[in-house]
A and B are shown apart, each in its own frame.
Chain A
Amino acid sequence: MENTDLTAEKNFDLKSFFFQWEWVLVLILIIVNFINTYLSPYYLNTYTLLDATMTFLDKAFIVLPMTFVIIFGDIDISVGSTVALSSVVMAVAYNLGMPMSLAIIICLLVGTVCGMINGLLIVKFKELSAVIVTLSTMTLYRGIAYTILEDQAAGGFPEWFTFPGWGYVKGIPFILIVFTIFAIIFALLLHRTTFGRQVYAIGNNAVASRYSGVQVNKIKFIVFTLAGFMSAIAALFLTSRMGSTRPNVALGYELDVIAMVVLGGVSTSGGKGRIIGTILSIFIVGYLRYGLGLINVPAQVILIIIGLLLIFAVMVPNLEKYFKRKKTKKAF
């Protein structure tokens, strides 16, 4: 009765290996750097390439948990406001006389609690989609930040707090080192653990996951909490780099972050995508902005270019499907 034909062999197909989205991203990244080198003689050297990362890696911390959120098929648009609120509370706490280390812990706590509130609302009120919940909390968190600080800036941090945003360790930007560590942790979490497997399962079929004993609510709650925590990490680096903070910092971060995740090949309908893709797209968008900034391309034009890139990213999987369908139609 046993079926002996059933193998455990993977069909390694060279063609489909190279037709992965990540290779397209590698190609785009190379092209972007090529163009940058061509446009500016000051671009291509290790120092510039490393230094540039300091200008864009703060958002990248949020890209990591956002990858998980979008794999669920959900979205979190409150992350920008979470950054602002945790940053503002940290500054106010410090200015009230607390030691900086305590202020930093408070910053991380505020971000985490913001994420927990999102998670709780999404899990408890099934009829509310994540977009609606985080749209509300986006306004809420930003509103609280404005109430605390009104339209003023707060800063005056101790000298050593410039280190996260501006410091180097053995010639490598500190932020790049920290980001690399977090990126590895998130990549392992998503691709090598049972937790990551369950994240994919929920994104593909939440009902079947529940029937298979996956604790859907718990996992969603953890991921949204992580998104809040990582937003607070981003707030630390951003505040450190700017030296002071205002309630309107990190405006529009959520869109940048979501754009990077989508460009990284994570499907908004859930269940697909890899961390490596989103990491590549962080560097694509980052270097593109930096390079075009070097030759004084206006910020608005940069936005147009990134928009086009994004349309391309969303279109490609559909083009692939379109061609496949055409092919199968012919075959019959």
Chain B
Amino acid sequence: MSEYILELKGVTKTFPGVKALDDVHFQLKSGEIHALMGENGAGKSTFIKIITGVHQPDEGEIYLNGQKVDINNPRDAQKLGIAAIYQHVTCYPDLSVTENIFMGHEKIKKGTNRLLWNEMHSEAQKLLDELGATFDPKTRMGELSVAQQQIVEIAKALSTNAKIIIMDEPTASLTKSESEELYRITEKLRNNGTSIIFISHRLEDMYRLANRVTVFRDSKYIGTWEVNEISNEELIVAMVGREITQMFPKKEAKIGEEILRVEKLGKIGFFKDISFTLHKGEILGLTGLVGSGRTEVCQAIFGITSPDEGKIIFEGKEVKIDHPLQAMNLGIGYLPEDRQKQGLVLEWSIEKNITLPALDKVSHKGWLDKEKEVEIAQALAKKVNVKAKSIYDLANSLSGGNQQKVVVAKLLTADLKVIIVDEPTKGVDVGAKSAILEIMSDLASQGYGIIMVSSEMPEVLGMSDRIIVMREGRITAQLSREEASQEIILEAAMTKKRSVNTA
């Protein structure tokens, strides 16, 4: 019997155009909580998908209890006792908790294939009791909170007798007290002998829970440390690979006159009393936890949804924006959060994607001018430095970072004055990340007003001239670049406080 319950040696995985994992090593001891850290795009998700059999490695070996194993599909992983719990819970909201727990491995009576409901309900109840959950297994999944749904996912993992549980950013959308509850459950699982790989961006998660930490960067294995033997600074250097200040190419920009102001904007169930101003040349950071209403505010300004109350004032005039086209005609652009679903037509070439928001510029009276289209698309793709062979390459053949650059290029086709970027560097590798931030910084110094929605604290602190923090649909703090700090922002994002009005 090996010291390690799970061991990966020299695992490499290549996707068309990108090396997602490059000679990666990993060792998980039996009964430990092992933190896996790294920036977005460091290869963590690919790593999980290899362990859970979604992808197969091109090179390298996986050992389970010292035995070499092949994990060809998620079923194999389940049989081997490996389960994963994802950040976005993948449940069936209209089915009961019991059905969700036993999905795929229902208890059935041999011969007649009848579902053994009573057995499943009582087993589910037992699992939930063990985890300290108070809801009934017959509850509809959709009625539960995200935290409760995660408990169901954990129960599901336990019901398959998982010996190794991978948790992918489980605390990302939890409140502080819910996170505490999750820590308690995780520790309990460990005490019962389960080994846990815990993936998180939050340093506090790691300090609170993990025995050891492994860091990936740029698809490569960087190292493994005992948690109490590595300092905060060392860990950040390991993750980022250089001094963090270089990540944010913020230029000093002259802040000009007001260009956009929202007053008491509200949408029932999403946000209320949102008031702020944006000036030319300014980068306004908009942060808060996922679900705090940041995206919804931006979508209301861009005309994706319409607000129930309040005013939007653009260049001194009150405007009503019912459709993105109106926003774009005014000069407001939006870089959506989900580039694959909202930003790109994946099966289209780079060139057609870039010109989609500006078809009237590449046409005469409705007739497409292909030469002009190529000219504009090529110029913009070069400007944002898309790495591809030709502008006729399909968007889905590009890496996340290059896809994002194409979405940025789409913005540049229009004559904009205000650009709203929603999580501009989510899932983007380090190189593309600083390239995208550099473009933003350039745009600001050219006089654009920029609203940047971001969950990444260093990015918000590094790039913004002013920072607005939201919590549960309300603004809880407005800070200048000088007065902002990680602690103040976190406090405003997580704890109740009275809403602050615009100065």
Contacts and interface: CB of A to CB of B under 8 A. Distances in A.
Interface string A167-198: 00000000000000000000000001111011
A194 B367 CA distance: 6
A5 interface: yes
Interface residues of A, number: 31
A10 B392 contact: yes
A1 B382 CA distance: 9
B60 interface: no
Nearest to A271: B347
A205 B359 contact: no
B341 A213 contact: no
A77 B389 CA distance: 43
A215 B325 contact: yes
B382 A3 contact: yes
Nearest to B338: A207
A225 B436 CA distance: 43
Interface in B142-187: none
Q: Is the interface of B mostly helix, strand, loop or mixed?
A: mixed
Contacts of B378: 6, 8
B324 A210 contact: yes
> A-side binding surface: helix, strand, loop or mixed?
loop
Nearest to A191: B368
A212 B324 CA distance: 7
A245 to B, nearest CB: 37
A204 interface: yes
Contact of B343 (A4, A198, A208): A208
B96 interface: no
A253 B220 CA distance: 60
B501 interface: no
B191 interface: no
A11 B390 contact: yes
B409 to A, nearest CB: 11
Contact of A208 (B344, B382, B386, B388): B344
Contacts of B382: 2-4, 6
Interface string A1-30: 111111111110000000000000000000
A323 interface: no
Contacts of A215: 323, 325
Given A7-B390, A194-B363, A198-B359, A1 B385 contact: yes
A194 B368 contact: yes
Contacts of A160: none
B359 to A, nearest CB: 4
Nearest to B405: A3
Contact of A212 (B347, B351, B357, B381): B357
B176 to A, nearest CB: 33
Contact of B366 (A11, A195, A207, A210): A195
Nearest to B351: A8
Given A211-B342, A215-B325, A3 B359 contact: no
Interface in B340-362: 341-348, 351-352, 356-357, 359-360
Contact of B368 (A2, A197, A213, A214): A197
B410 interface: yes
B391 A6 contact: yes
A3 B385 CA distance: 5
A217 to B, nearest CB: 9
Interface residues of B, number: 42
Contact of A211 (B324, B359, B391): B324
Contacts of B374: 8
A48 B410 CA distance: 53
Contact of B336 (A1, A2, A5, A211): A211
A209 interface: yes
A332 interface: yes
A213 B324 contact: yes
Contacts of A197: 352, 356, 359, 368
Contact of B334 (A193, A211, A214): A211
A271 to B, nearest CB: 7
A102 B291 CA distance: 59
A9 B341 contact: no
A4 B324 CA distance: 33
A9 B347 contact: no
A192 B359 CA distance: 12
B371 to A, nearest CB: 10
A201 interface: yes
B383 interface: yes
Interface string B369-412: 00000100110011101111111100000000000000000100
B342 A207 contact: yes
Contacts of B389: 5-7
B304 interface: yes
A274 to B, nearest CB: 15
Given A3-B385, A201-B356, A213-B328, A193 B347 contact: no
Contacts of A2: 382-383, 385
Nearest to B357: A212
A205 B328 CA distance: 19
Given A204-B345, A212-B356, A6 B381 contact: yes
Nearest to B384: A3
B357 A213 contact: yes
B390 A10 contact: yes
Nearest to B326: A213
Which of A5, A6, A10, A207 has the most C-beta atoms of chain B within 10 angstroms of its own C-beta?
A: A6
Contacts of B390: 6-11
Contacts of A1: 385
A205 B387 contact: no
A2 B334 CA distance: 24
Interface in B9-62: 56, 58
A271 B394 CA distance: 14
A10 B342 CA distance: 27
Interface string B313-328: 0000000000111001
Contacts of A194: 359-360, 363, 366-368
B341 A205 contact: yes
Given A6-B390, A8-B351, A213-B324, 11 more contacts: A4-B382, A8-B374, A8-B377, A10-B392, A11-B390, A201-B356, A205-B345, A207-B342, A208-B343, A213-B325, A214-B356
Interface of A: 1-11, 192-195, 197-198, 201, 204-205, 207-215, 271, 332
